[in-house]
Each structure stands twice: as structure tokens, then as C-alpha cells.
Amino acid sequence: MKTLSNILLIEDFPDIRDWLSGLLRETFCVTKITEAATVAQAYSHLALQKFELIVVDLNLPDGAGVDILRRIKSLGLTAHCVVATTYDDDVHLLTALAAGADGYLLKDQPGEQLMQDLSGILDGSHVGAIYSKLDISSRAEATIEALRRGLIST
């Protein structure tokens, strides 16, 4: 079992947040899970603590999860950043990867599959499946593809 000392879980729906938190505790040896329901709360936690893993919902009441990803990367933080969402389309996936996501999970999967995929992201094996689906080989290519599709601008 992989040990993670500090996780930030950003999810606005309490039931889903509790479910994800429980899955994270069952799957990993976790010292601490900090929870945020909004972009503002996430930014406050990021200013005060270092995290090994940050799980981000894309649609939050006061903004977008991709803005959190961009902030994390602009600050040079080294946490693994993983999106957990219900959006199962290339537009959201490419935008998240271009913003700095290390992985992309669908919350409508069974919990066991979700955590298996997360484990794969953390050990590097799951990202290859995402890149293969999009016919790309790196985050840089994801950014180029997102630009080409007009999903992001320079």
C-alpha cells in the first residue's frame, strides 16, 4: 500500500467528497486529507500546506478546477494533480492536461476502479492510456492539441 502523507481533496458535493475521502483512506496509507469545497478554500489550503496529491473537481461553485491546476503549476508545486470529474469528453480532458493535470478520473466509475486508476496515475502507468486515447505522447502535445482545437489560447 502506497503511503501519502498529505492529500488535498477539492470537491463541492459533500456526499461525493466523503465517498472520495473514504476511498483514498482505504486505498492509501494516508496521514491527512484536507478538504475544500471551493476554489477560494483550495487557494487558502495551498498557501498554508504542502501536498503530495491534489484531487480536483472541474466544476466548483466559485470557479473552475482548471484554474486551481494552473495556480499549482505557476507556483511550482510538485504535488501530483489529478482531476476527478463526470465530464467524459476530450475537451475537458485536454483542457485539464494542458492546465497541468497529471491524470484524469471519472467519478461515475465504481470506487475500486477509480482507485486502481489513481494508483496507475501515481505510478505512471495510467497516463499512457490517456495519451494513447488522444493519440499524443506528452503533456506538451496535449497542450498543442488543445490549442489546435481552440480549447485554450496563448
- Each residue's pLDDT tens digit, 53-84: 999 999 999 999 999 999 999 999 999 999 99
Helices (H) and strands (E) in the chain, counts: 7, 7
pLDDT of residue 78: 92
pTM over 0.95? The answer is no
One of 3.40.50.300, 3.40.50.360, 3.40.50.720, 3.40.50.2300 is the CATH number of 3-148, namely: 3.40.50.2300
Tell me if 7 sits within 8 A of 53, measured CB to CB.
Answer: yes
At residue 6, the pLDDT reads 95
C-alpha cell, 41? 478554500
Residue 151: which pLDDT band, with cuts at 50, 70 and 90? low
Phi, psi dihedral angles at 7 (to 5 degrees): -120, 140
Cβ contact 66:58 at 8 Å: yes
Position 30 scores a pLDDT of 87
Q: What is the mean pLDDT of the chain?
A: 87
First-to-last C-alpha distance (Å) of the chain: 41
Label residue 139 by pLDDT band (50, 70, 90). low
Residue 125 is predicted with a pLDDT of 64
Domain boundaries, the chain: 3-148
128: confidence class by pLDDT, cuts 50, 70, 90: low
> Exposed, middle or buried, 90 (CB in 10 Å: 0-12/13-18/19+)?
middle
